[in-house]
Structure formats: structure tokens, C-alpha cells
């Protein structure tokens, strides 16, 4: 009898998890993959929890979406601080057009181990209040001079992300994006980032969020 209850409980939990991770393809959704690039030879692979910093390495973010949106990519450490020397990026994304971040002159060189990464990717509907506030802060950070100012701004950005009305469960457990986004312009030859990408819905009422690295990114 206990075995029956145990099996039933497992099935129920599995069904609940599947439902919580479901993506509505009829609604706007964004897709992202964080990857490690070997600067010396151009080799690229998906960022994983087991990934480590090393010489000639940098982190990049691949993005696309089914509808026009604004995207924030904010590279933090799990300790809550911004990765030293890295600045967040905020871009407008056209439907079906791929974006590769960060854009020059910003670079996310991953040579030193400063602790576990916690990189946030948020998809905002165009013109949203949350997006506007994040955009203004990220723009200010690009011009900031001095570590103390950037640290203060990073703390404020982390606070804005924490207050954003996104699905916290989906951010950590979003499903892989196996299907192609219609009309996507491919930019990368070699590493097929879409095989490791995660996808999340977004709307005017609620931004979509993804937090990298994912435990089962391969």
C-alpha cells in the first residue's frame, strides 16, 4: 500500500513540475544560452555548474525571441556581487533576430575564479516600467568611474531584479528550447547554442527570466 502511495506521489510531483515548466508557444517567448568561448581557438560550449574559470576564456550570451522585446543580461556571483570587471548589458531584440552579448567594449573574460556564477537574463515587453528602470541603471553603469560607484549601482540593479514580477520557479527550471524560432538569422557556425538554450514566456504584465547556469546544461 505504501508503494502505491509513493508511486502516486512521485507521479503527481512529476506532473506538477512538467506543468510549471510548460511554455505557451502561442505567446511571446525568449530564448537564451550562456556559453564559454576559448579565445585562443574559438571553441565554444554551454556554461554548466561544473564549468571553471581558466586562461583564454570568456562568457557570452546568445539570445533570440518570437516577439520584439528588451533584454537585460546581468552577470552576478551567487554571493550577490557583480562579477569583478564585468558590466551588465541591455539590448532591444527584434523578433526572430539573434543577438550575441556582451557588445564591445564590454567583455566578460573568465580567467579568475571569483566564486559561483549567477547570471540573470530578463525579457521585458517593450516600454515596461521594470525594463525602463533597469535600462537607465545599466546605461549609467557603462559610464561610471570608480569601483565604489559601480558596486552601489550593481547592488541597486540586483534589488530591481529581485523585485521584478517574474516566475521564480521558471527562472530556475525553464525547459530546453528544442524548436526553432521562425525567421531566426543564424550567426554562429560550429557551436549550436539552441541545443542548450532555455526558453521562457514574457508579457506586458510579467517579464520572463532565466538564471544561469542550469544544472543539466550539456
| pTM for the predicted model, two decimal places | 0.85
Question: pLDDT value at position 16?
Answer: 37
Mean pLDDT by 10 residues, the chain (218 residues): 39 39 88 97 95 96 98 97 97 96 97 97 96 97 93 97 92 76 50 94 96 74
61 falls within a domain:
yes
6 falls within a domain:
no
12 falls within a domain:
no
Enclosing domain of residue 111: 23-212
The total number of structural domains that make up the chain: 1
CA gap 143, 150 in Å, rounded: 9
102 falls within a domain:
yes
Are the C-beta atoms of 209 and 43 separated by less than 8 Å? no
Q: What are residue 34's DSSP bridge partners?
A: 61
207 falls within a domain:
yes
Are the C-beta atoms of 179 and 13 separated by less than 8 Å? no
9 falls within a domain:
no
In degrees, rounded to 5, the angle at the alpha carbon of residue 119 between the alpha carbons of residues 155 and 73 is: 80
In degrees, rounded to 5, the angle at the alpha carbon of residue 31 between the alpha carbons of residues 189 and 13 is: 125
Amino acid at each position: 500500500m505504501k508503494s502505491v502511495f509513493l508511486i502516486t506521489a512521485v507521479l503527481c510531483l512529476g506532473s506538477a513540475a512538467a506543468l510549471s515548466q510548460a511554455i505557451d508557444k502561442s505567446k511571446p517567448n525568449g530564448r537564451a544560452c550562456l556559453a564559454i568561448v576559448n579565445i585562443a581557438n574559438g571553441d565554444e560550449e554551454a556554461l554548466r555548474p561544473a564549468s571553471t574559470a581558466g586562461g583564454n576564456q570568456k562568457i557570452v550570451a546568445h539570445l533570440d525571441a518570437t516577439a520584439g522585446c528588451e533584454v537585460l543580461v546581468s552577470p552576478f556571483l551567487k554571493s550577490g556581487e557583480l562579477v569583478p570587471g564585468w558590466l551588465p548589458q541591455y539590448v532591444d531584440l527584434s523578433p526572430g533576430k539573434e543577438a550575441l552579448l556582451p557588445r564591445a567594449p564590454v567583455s566578460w573574460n573568465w580567467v579568475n575564479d571569483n566564486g559561483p556564477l549567477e547570471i540573470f537574463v530578463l525579457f521585458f515587453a517593450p516600454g515596461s516600467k521594470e525594463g525602463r528602470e533597469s535600462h537607465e541603471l545599466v546605461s549609467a553603469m557603462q559610464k561610471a568611474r570608480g569601483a565604489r560607484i559601480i558596486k552601489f549601482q550593481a547592488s541597486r540593479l540586483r534589488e530591481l531584479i529581485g523585485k521584478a514580477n517574474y516566475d521564480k520557479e521558471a527562472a530556475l527550471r525553464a525547459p530546453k528550447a528544442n524548436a526553432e524560432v521562425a525567421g531566426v538569422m543564424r550567426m554562429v557556425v560550429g557551436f549550436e547554442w539552441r541545443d542548450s538554450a532555455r526558453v521562457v514566456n514574457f508579457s506586458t504584465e510579467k517579464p520572463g527570466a532565466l538564471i544561469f547556469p542550469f544544472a543539466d546544461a550539456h
